[in-house]
């Protein structure tokens, strides 16, 4: 259920509960429900966290996001002698590689997405509840 901050904020918060340490969670429908009908040229999604990411990729064959998770795990393994003592340095690095925000065009109040595009929260250090700030850009 999106929570509205107040009239002056023009911002909506989307909360997502993830269920594994690393997970590609399709949030397209949550974003659609929160964004559609709004009067703007685009929406901006902003993760309020440093160990997850937001990305757009294929939402037809689930194997694509499994390959993505595995590929990121090979690039930045969890098990490595990192300095940071919390055991989640890999999640911080993946968060900066994938990025924590997205801007998606709105057209006549509808998200503009290509045929195969879905919006994903990339959880790299779950399970947790994640908060995403959604801003409608006029």
**Residues near a second copy (CB under 8 A):** 5, 8-11, 41-42, 44, 46-50, 55-58, 61, 63-64, 66-68, 71-72, 75-76, 82-86, 89-90, 92-93, 95-105, 107-108, 112-117, 131, 133, 135-138
* Nearer Cβ to a second copy (19/103): 103
Q: How many CB atoms lie within 10 A of CB 37?
A: 11
CB nearer to a second copy: pick between 105 and 127: 105
CA distance 24 to 82: 24
Query: Both tokens of residue 61?
Result: 């064959």
Shortest gap between Cβ of 80 and a second copy (angstroms)? 8
Smallest distance from a second copy to CB 19, Å? 20
The two three-digit tokens of residue 19, written as one number = 């269920």
Alpha helices in 4-105 (DSSP H): 28-35, 63-75, 89-98
- How near is the Cβ of 75 to a second copy at its closest, in Å? 6
CB of 129 within 8 A of CB of 26? no
């Amino acid at each position: 259920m999106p929570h509205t901050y107040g009239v002056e904020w023009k911002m909506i918060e989307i909360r997502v509960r993830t269920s594994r340490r690393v997970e590609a969670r399709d949030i397209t429908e949550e974003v659609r429900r929160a964004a559609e009908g709004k009067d703007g040229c685009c929406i901006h999604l902003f993760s309020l966290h440093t160990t997850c990411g937001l990305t757009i990729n294929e939402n037809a064959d689930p194997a694509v996001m499994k390959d993505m998770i595995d590929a990121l795990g090979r690039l930045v393994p969890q098990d490595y002698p990192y300095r940071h003592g919390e055991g989640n340095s890999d999640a911080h690095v993946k968060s900066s590689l994938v990025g924590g925000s997205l801007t998606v065009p709105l057209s006549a109040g509808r998200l503009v997405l290509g045929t195969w595009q879905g919006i994903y929260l990339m959880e790299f250090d779950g399970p947790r509840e994640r908060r995403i700030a959604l801003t409608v850009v006029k």
